[in-house]
């Protein structure tokens, strides 16, 4: 049994890789249908999967791949050519194979999906028209011609039997309906002898043999092997320990002045550095590992939207840490989809604007300043700041007052605000306003930043900056109340030191909130010791040090006692006991061996906003979309999620349940529980809101919301109270999963975005309840994918 | 009759024991980085040969009086769910060999948090050895 599992597992991993290759090959083949090497590769992959699945007894998979293979066989022998329709159906076949493989990976058996429709479509496409100029019966020779890179005419030309005019004439005759092979036409014209044609055919055959035998695509695989990531992590940790031991030995050896010892320690020093570098490299992968899926995405989307898009990938070899690659995969894909859907215009519109009908989408990756830069640029319609401003105003993302103070670039960046969408028509691709904010949230989660620039009518460019690795980041160390803290450089904009008179008068108070005038703009100030509830330490000198930090769309000044220096720090995770605190991104060990906490700038900002209520309050909450309206003071169920207080409209609470943790079942990424004879999909609010929560209890507190026959369960940490919000205390929030903020029982409470929470538990909830079209379903699913 | 070995230590005059295989090492008082906003039991973070380890003060955790100024705690580093956690205690004792026959449920005289974090007591010849529930003592952080 063990052996079989091993074989199946191997089959799965291998097939996964092959399928990714298949996606790429098919898209490339569509662009260049004459490439027999690509066709061979596609055919071989499908054939391998068919063979192995037959051997392992996966009947559905075998029969599915069999029809695909038949279709491909006809293309390979030239009786069919690859049309867009055939590409589409083959790509669907790849998806179906993927689904089956996934099911095998999860449950060990094939899923029970009915795929007869797909099989029929593939079969139908096998019997339709033969390519022009090669009638089915006499296809042999002409087909050979089509399938190989070097055509028979070219070979004859190369053999100096005929000249190019003769061949052109013969090809024209073929196109005009002469269904004889090219060689026969040339013989009939008396331009070549039967022997010469036979020689050329033999040469062609030999060339094909070389092409199919070489299989250049998989050659690289032999030089590498698979390694368990856990093993790499262990190695990485060991090397870290080794580095510290090395430091001690080098220090001791230097003090002893024993020449032999000194030499050995220097050698050790060098070797350990090299080893460290090598081990770090093993975790790095080229960005191409995630980019390689994009040609397929762009192609499918282009076909759906009726747009012509050329995708150019630059800097495929740029390397990133594996963890980061995984984290940016979905946001990048979403950004690319957005560019095709919103950025690039339809071919007609492009022609009208005097551009080539084919849109150009360029992805560029490069290293710069210890960071990886990724640019996604399209030469489409660009973003019109005026339109964005109008839309943002309409959907309540900003107030007219806020808009007045914004430059065009700030306005364009409003597309990252939650609840923002400019698509005039909601498509199943994007346009639900749940896209770009999620892109930003995900990029920021790994310490990156995202920014958009645009020239209306010319181009739009999305710039993403991400750290090379999560393990080592550049940081600024500061001191506050006697302890040192590290602030990641990525969120640091500038450093201010205000001295003398200015230190006393520079800080002003705006309705109780301290602000600082920075080049004419008001910068809200936050004292680190205050945010961290520390007793104010004695200020060393009368200068005020302000770190200008950028968190999400907020910029604020963090006041610290002293600024020490910048250094590369190794990020160590915090233990379970401290994850609930939330204000720290981790810890690190400084040069002198002391531990320092790394500040989580986003969490600090959030905490500070809660402290200084003035910032959280103000504008009206009027989120666009179909978000559940929360007008008027309505009773709220106040719950605890991690450290946060969250309000849920009582009208959306059908029931509160205690569910034993042990009865929760997992299906893929989802959690479900059997509830009153039905399955109740669950979502953890801590995940929806992106906070750490203790968990670990043997009972889960669940808010059940039902509509019609469908129910979802939202897991919270504790139910605190039922209360009514203070009137007119509403404020906006930019957090994922939060619809706004309000003062409840004199405390700032976040209002849960019920729609997002429900969709996180059951992506089909609304579409099923409303029984609306398929567009709805996929729109929500796009969101759920990203939010996961 | 089941024999066990417990690493013993004292906290405010009480003798506690943790099974030997749970204890990774015992080290002297380390320089500690405090963690603002953390729950009460967390004393801070220490650098254990390059690993950042959370230290939990057993006195706070057990609801006992704080250590007198200048009294240096010892670190008993235990393994909990693949993580190292340090328990700050007053002093380290010997390794005690105990049997299940000596075991009793937590004594009635123990109240509140201390009772909740104790599995029971072993009756030694001269005194009682309280078996610490390591998992609860480290994970019940925040339950006041």
Interface test with A, best of B31, B34, B36 (most A CBs within 10 A): B36
Is A627 among the domain residues? yes
Closest residue in B to A245 (Cα–Cα): B49
CA distance B102 to B119: 13
Is B131 among the domain residues? yes
Contact A572 B52 (CB under 8 A): yes
CA distance B41 to chain A (A): 9
Neighbours of A191 (CB within 10 A): 18
CA distance B142 to chain A (A): 9
CA distance A497 to A516: 12
Is B144 among the domain residues? no
Is A658 among the domain residues? yes
Interface test with A, best of B27, B30, B35 (most A CBs within 10 A): B35
State percent of chain A over pLDDT 90: 5
Do both A502 and A386 map to the same domain? Answer: no
Confidence at residue A785, expressed as pLDDT on a 0 to 100 scale: 36
Do both A27 and A169 map to the same domain? Answer: yes
Domain coverage including residue A77: 2-216
Confidence at residue A469, expressed as pLDDT on a 0 to 100 scale: 64
Domain boundary among A282, A297, A326: A282
H-helix or E-strand containing A676?
A: none
Domain coverage including residue B12: 3-139
Contact A583 B49 (CB under 8 A): no
CATH number at residue A508: 2.40.50.180
Residue A307 backbone dihedrals phi, psi, to 5 degrees: -120, 150
Confidence at residue A472, expressed as pLDDT on a 0 to 100 scale: 66
State the ipTM, two decimals: 0.89
Closest residue in B to A243 (Cα–Cα): B50
Neighbours of A585 (CB within 10 A): 24
Q: Which of A240, A243, A595 sits opposite B46 (nearest CB)?
A: A595
Average pLDDT over residues A727-733: 60
| Residue A572 per-residue DSSP state | B
DSSP secondary structure of A439-469: HHHHHHHTT-EEEEEEETTTEEEEEEEEES-
Look at chain B and report how many structural domains it folds into. 1
Closest residue in A to B142 (Cα–Cα): A577
Do both A539 and A684 map to the same domain? Answer: no
Is A222 among the domain residues? no
Closest residue in A to B84 (Cα–Cα): A575
pLDDT at A757 exceeding the cut of 70: yes
Closest residue in A to B33 (Cα–Cα): A595
Average pLDDT over residues A404-432: 64
Contact B47 A597 (CB under 8 A): no
User: What residues contact residue A44 under an 8 Å CB cut-off, 6+ apart?
Assistant: A215
Domain boundary among A553, A584, A613: A613
Contact A578 B138 (CB under 8 A): no
Domain boundary among A282, A302, A325: A282
Do both A373 and A391 map to the same domain? Answer: yes
| pLDDT tens-digit readout, A657-668 | 778 888 888 887
Closest residue in A to B56 (Cα–Cα): A577
Confidence at residue A174, expressed as pLDDT on a 0 to 100 scale: 72
pLDDT at A176 exceeding the cut of 70: no
pLDDT at A696 exceeding the cut of 70: no
Is B91 among the domain residues? yes
pLDDT at A373 exceeding the cut of 50: yes
Low-confidence winner among A218-232, A283-297, A626-640, B83-97 (lowest mean pLDDT): A626-640
Average pLDDT over residues A583-608: 83
A610 touches chain B (CB under 8 A): no
Do both A343 and A410 map to the same domain? Answer: yes
Low-confidence winner among A85-99, A151-165, A270-284, A372-386 (lowest mean pLDDT): A151-165
| Residues A38 and A32 sit within 8 Å (Cβ to Cβ) | yes
Q: Which of A576, A581, A593 sits opposite B35 (nearest CB)?
A: A581
B81 touches chain A (CB under 8 A): yes
CA distance A281 to chain B (A): 21
Interface test with B, best of A527, A595, A610 (most B CBs within 10 A): A595
**Which residues of A fall within a CB distance of 8 Å from B30?**
none
| Residue A343 per-residue DSSP state | I
Look at chain A and report how many structural domains it folds into. 5
Contact B53 A575 (CB under 8 A): yes
Is A14 among the domain residues? yes
Q: What is the mean pLDDT of chain A?
A: 75
Do both A519 and A596 map to the same domain? Answer: yes
Contact B45 A581 (CB under 8 A): no
In 3D space, the residue among A546, A542, A543, A531 whose CA is nearest the CA of residue A481 turns out to be: A531
B35 touches chain A (CB under 8 A): yes
Beta bridge partners of residue B74, listed in sequence order: B89
Contact A483 B33 (CB under 8 A): yes
Average pLDDT over residues A758-771: 77
| Residues B74 and B29 sit within 8 Å (Cβ to Cβ) | yes
Do both A344 and A445 map to the same domain? Answer: yes
Average pLDDT over residues A574-591: 81
Contact A587 B142 (CB under 8 A): no
Interface test with A, best of B30, B37, B135 (most A CBs within 10 A): B37
Is A84 among the domain residues? yes
Is A678 among the domain residues? yes
CA distance B17 to chain A (A): 22
CATH number at residue B68: 2.40.50.180
Contact B54 A595 (CB under 8 A): no
CATH number at residue A402: 3.30.565.10
pLDDT at A719 exceeding the cut of 80: no
Q: How far is CA A355 from the centre of its chain?
A: 30
Confidence at residue A788, expressed as pLDDT on a 0 to 100 scale: 33
| pLDDT tens-digit readout, A121-132 | 888 877 655 444
**Which residues of A fall within a CB distance of 8 Å from B53?**
575
Confidence at residue A558, expressed as pLDDT on a 0 to 100 scale: 92
Is B109 among the domain residues? yes
Contact B36 A595 (CB under 8 A): no
Do both A202 and A239 map to the same domain? Answer: no
H-helix or E-strand containing A675?
A: strand A670-675
In 3D space, the residue among A170, A182, A110 whose CA is nearest the CA of residue A145 turns out to be: A182
Look up the pTM and report it.
0.46
Low-confidence ranges of chain B (pLDDT < 70): 1, 107, 110-113, 140-144
Is A749 among the domain residues? yes
Average pLDDT over residues A709-724: 80
Interface test with B, best of A577, A592, A606, A696 (most B CBs within 10 A): A577
Which has the higher per-residue pLDDT, B109 or A20?
A20
Average pLDDT over residues A230-253: 78
Neighbours of B67 (CB within 10 A): 18
Q: Which of B36, B81, B142 sits opposite A534 (nearest CB)?
A: B36
Average pLDDT over residues A716-723: 78
A241 touches chain B (CB under 8 A): yes
Do both A682 and A744 map to the same domain? Answer: yes
H-helix or E-strand containing A96?
A: helix A84-107
- Kindly indicate the confidence band of residue A703, based on its pLDDT and cuts at 50, 70 and 90: confident
Is B47 among the domain residues? yes
Average pLDDT over residues A568-573: 76
Do both A209 and A236 map to the same domain? Answer: no
Contact A577 B81 (CB under 8 A): no
| Residues A110 and A121 sit within 8 Å (Cβ to Cβ) | no
Query: Residues A610-630, buried b or exposed e (16+ Cβ, 10 A)?
Result: bbbbbbbbebebbbbbebbeb
Is B118 among the domain residues? yes
CA distance A275 to A282: 11
Is A27 among the domain residues? yes
Q: Which of B38, B50, B51 sits opposite A578 (nearest CB)?
A: B38
Do both A694 and A586 map to the same domain? Answer: no
- Kindly indicate the confidence band of residue A215, based on its pLDDT and cuts at 50, 70 and 90: very low
B82 touches chain A (CB under 8 A): no
Do both A415 and A335 map to the same domain? Answer: yes
CA distance B101 to chain A (A): 31
By the 10 Å C-beta count (0-12 exposed, 13-18 middle, 19+ buried), A312 is classed as exposed
- The distance in angstroms from the start CA to the end CA of chain A is 34
CA dihedral in degrees (A439, A442, A445, A451; nearest 10)? -20
Contact B38 A694 (CB under 8 A): no
Residue A229 backbone dihedrals phi, psi, to 5 degrees: -60, -35
Confidence at residue A144, expressed as pLDDT on a 0 to 100 scale: 42
């Amino acid at each position: 049994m063990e052996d079989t599992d091993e074989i199946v597992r191997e089959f799965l991993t291998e097939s996964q890789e092959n399928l990714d290759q298949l996606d790429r090959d098919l898209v490339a083949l569509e662009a260049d249908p004459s490439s027999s090497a690509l066709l061979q590769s596609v055919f071989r992959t499908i054939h391998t999967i068919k063979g192995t699945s037959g051997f392992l007894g996966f009947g559905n998979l075998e029969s599915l791949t069999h029809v695909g293979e038949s279709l491909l066989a006809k293309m390979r022998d030239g009786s069919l050519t690859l049309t867009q329709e055939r590409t589409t159906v083959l790509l669907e076949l790849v998806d179906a194979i993927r689904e089956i493989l996934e099911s095998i990976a999860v449950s060990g058996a094939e899923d029970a999906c009915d795929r007869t429709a797909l099989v029929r479509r593939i079969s139908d496409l096998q019997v339709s028209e033969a390519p022009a100029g090669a009638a089915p019966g006499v296809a042999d020779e002409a087909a050979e011609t089509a399938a190989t890179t070097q055509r028979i005419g070219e070979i004859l030309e190369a053999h100096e039997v005929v000249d190019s005019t003769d061949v052109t004439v013969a090809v024209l005759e073929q196109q005009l309906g002469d269904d004889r092979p090219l060689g026969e036409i040339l013989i009939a014209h008396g331009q070549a002898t039967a022997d010469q044609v036979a020689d050329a055919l033999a040469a062609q055959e030999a060339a094909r043999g070389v092409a199919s035998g070489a299989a250049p695509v998989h050659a690289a695989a032999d030089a590498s092997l698979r390694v368990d990531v856990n093993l790499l992590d262990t190695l990485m940790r060991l090397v870290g320990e080794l580095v510290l031991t090395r430091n001690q030995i080098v220090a001791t050896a230097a003090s002893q002045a024993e020449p032999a010892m000194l030499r050995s320690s220097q050698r050790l020093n060098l070797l350990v550095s090299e080893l460290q570098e090598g081990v770090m490299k093993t975790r790095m992968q080229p960005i191409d590992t995630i980019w390689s899926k994009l040609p397929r995405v762009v192609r499918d989307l282009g076909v759906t939207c009726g747009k012509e898009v050329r995708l150019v990938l630059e800097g495929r070899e740029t390397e990133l840490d594996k963890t980061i690659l995984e984290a940016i995969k979905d946001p990048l894909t979403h950004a690319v989809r957005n560019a095709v859907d919103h950025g690039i215009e339809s071919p007609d519109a492009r022609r009208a604007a005097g551009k080539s009908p084919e849109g150009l989408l360029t992805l560029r990756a490069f290293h710069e300043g210890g960071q990886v830069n990724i640019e996604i640029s399209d030469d489409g319609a660009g973003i019109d700041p005026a339109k964005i401003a109008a839309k943002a105003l309409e959907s309540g993302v900003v107030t007219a007052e806020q808009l007045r103070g914004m430059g065009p670039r700030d306005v364009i960046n409003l597309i990252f605000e939650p609840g923002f969408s400019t698509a005039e028509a909601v498509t199943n691709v994007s346009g639900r306003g749940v896209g770009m904010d999620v892109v930003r949230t995900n990029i920021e989660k790994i310490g990156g930043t995202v920014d958009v620039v645009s020239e209306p009518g010319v181009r739009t460019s999305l710039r993403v900056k991400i750290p090379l690795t999560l393990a080592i980041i550049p940081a600024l160390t500061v001191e506050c109340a006697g302890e040192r803290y590290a602030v990641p450089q990525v969120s640091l904009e500038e450093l201010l030191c205000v001295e003398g008179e200015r230190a006393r008068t520079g800080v002003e108070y705006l309705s109780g909130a301290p602000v600082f005038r920075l080049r004419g703009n008001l910068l809200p100030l936050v004292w680190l010791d205050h945010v961290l509830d520390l007793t104010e330490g004695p200020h060393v000198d009368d200068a005020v040090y302000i770190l200008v930090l950028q968190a999400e769309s907020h910029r604020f000044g963090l006041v610290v006692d002293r600024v020490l220096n910048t250094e590369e720090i190794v990020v160590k995770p915090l233990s379970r006991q401290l994850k609930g605190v939330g204000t720290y991104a981790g810890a690190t060990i400084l040069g002198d061996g002391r531990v320092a906490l790394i500040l989580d700038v986003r969490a600090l900002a959030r905490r500070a906003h809660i402290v200084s209520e003035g910032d959280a309050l103000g504008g009206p909450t009027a989120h666009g979309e179909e978000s559940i309206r929360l007008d008027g003071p309505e009773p709220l169920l106040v719950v605890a999620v991690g450290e946060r207080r969250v309000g849920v409209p009582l009208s959306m609470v059908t029931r509160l349940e205690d569910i034993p943790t042990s009865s929760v079942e997992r299906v893929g990424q989802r959690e479900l529980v059997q509830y009153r004879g039905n399955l109740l999909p669950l979502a953890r609010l801590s995940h929806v809101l992106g906070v750490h929560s203790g968990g670990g209890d043997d009972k889960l507190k669940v808010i059940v919301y039902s509509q019609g026959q469908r129910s979802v369960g939202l897991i919270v940490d504790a139910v605190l109270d039922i209360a009514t919000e203070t009137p007119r205390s509403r404020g906006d929030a930019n957090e994922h999963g939060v619809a706004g903020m309000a003062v409840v029982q004199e405390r700032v409470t976040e209002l849960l975005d019920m729609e997002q929470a429900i969709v996180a538990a059951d992506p089909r909830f609304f579409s099923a309840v409303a029984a609306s079209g398929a567009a709805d379903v996929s729109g929500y699913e796009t969101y759920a994918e990203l939010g996961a | 009759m089941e024999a066990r070995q417990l690493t013993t230590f004292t906290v405010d005059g009480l003798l506690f024991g943790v099974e030997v295989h749970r204890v990774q090492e015992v080290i002297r008082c380390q320089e500690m980085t405090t963690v603002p906003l953390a729950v009460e039991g967390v004393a801070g973070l220490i650098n254990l040969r390059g690993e950042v380890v959370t230290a939990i003060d057993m006195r706070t955790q057990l609801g006992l009086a704080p250590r007198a100024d200048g009294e240096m705690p010892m670190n008993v580093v235990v393994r909990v769910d693949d993580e190292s956690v340090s328990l700050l205690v007053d002093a380290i004792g010997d390794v005690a060999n105990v049997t299940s026959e000596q075991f009793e449920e937590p004594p009635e005289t123990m109240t509140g948090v201390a009772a909740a974090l104790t599995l029971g007591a072993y009756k030694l010849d001269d005194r009682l050895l309280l078996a610490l529930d390591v998992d609860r003592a480290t994970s019940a952080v925040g339950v006041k």
